[in-house]
Amino acid sequence: MNYRHIYHAGNFADVLKHAVLARLIRYMQKKDAGFRVLDTHGGIGLYDLSSEEAQKTGEWSEGIGKLLDAELAPQVAELLEPYLTAVRELNPEGGIRFYPGSPKLARMLFRPQDRLSAMELHPEDFARLHRLFEGDHHVRITELNGWLSLGAHLPPKEKRGIVLVDPPFEEDGEYERLVDGLAKAYRRFPGGTYCLWYPLKKGAPIKEFHEALQDLEIAKMLCAELSVRSDRGITGLTGSGLVIVNPPFTLKDELHALLPALKDHLAQDRYASHRAFWLRGEDKTAKDG
């Protein structure tokens, strides 16, 4: 209940998460049928980067602040277009003051037939998220522990969907909870596309986390990781990862284009790195850099 994403909105971890979420949404829209995005930890939906909280850390300046006006190769610019266009639409006078959280970004990318369900437990943040989408019949906001939604809100009535699980990782056992949550959700909705976010920092049990995911024997799990600095002498966040279950067949190649560009633009020291690989699925070959 202490975590507030406003301190971290628009940072390098958000860039990776939201760039991939936008790609997943665009892929789902290749079919005419509508789908639902379930966002288990919705936050407030829209962040004012000029606020005292955001200015206190300034993390956005090392994330979206570096990327928005960067010179990008044509393929990378095309892949990032849905995400960056949404950010620019929120800042019509130029620069960057407002940044979309995952619920707002998804809603901005929707067609009339697409829907959003977003969960938020923090009372104040829930109230702000609810106000943001008040009167929007495409969106349902629920004051609920996001972990519970993986049982109660699946499968969606549309039978097509993206499930974004982005927990704050402020309590012990969150990696294990992420594995258990996926297992429960997958039993209810095996055809869904899942996007699970996790932090990279010194001492994090990443190897054990990946092995536990592999033990679920889900057919296809793709992993993307981006580290922006060395973890030597640093106890905080140095990178982040995404596990994508049932990924679009195009996503692996897209990551091979996106991740090197994100590393180059967001690196905070010479130890920045990236990798994309299958935890389970088509091959086990990592593309590192």
Q: What are phi and psi of 222, to 5 degrees?
A: -105, 140
State the Cα angle at 154 between 152 and 159, rounded to 5°. Answer: 155
Residue 117's nearest CA partner among 94, 100, 136, 99 is 136
Catalytic pick from 136, 166, 172, 269? Answer: 166
Q: Does residue 283 have an active-site annotation?
A: no
Q: Which residues contact 228 (CB under 8 A, 6 or more apart)?
A: 12, 62, 238, 239, 263, 266, 267, 268, 269, 272
Query: Strand 239-245 to strand 287-288: parallel, antiparallel, or no bridges (unpaired)?
Result: unpaired
Residue 59's Cβ-count burial label (10 Å; 0-12, 13-18, 19+) is: buried
CA 85 – CA 101 distance, rounded (Å):
14
CA 240 – CA 180 distance, rounded (Å):
20
Taking CA atoms, 25 is separated from 20, 22, 121, in Å, by 9, 5, 25
The answer to whether 87 touches 100, Cβ cutoff 8 Å, is yes
Give bridge partners of residue 37 from the DSSP assignment.
116, 162
Alpha helices in 73-223 (DSSP H): 74-89, 102-109, 123-132, 146-152, 174-188, 206-214
| Numbered residues of the known binding site for S-adenosyl-L-methionine | 18, 41, 102, 120, 145-146, 166
| Numbered residues of the known binding site | 18, 41, 102, 120, 145-146, 166
State the Cα angle at 186 between 185 and 187, rounded to 5°. Answer: 90
Please list the active-site residues.
166
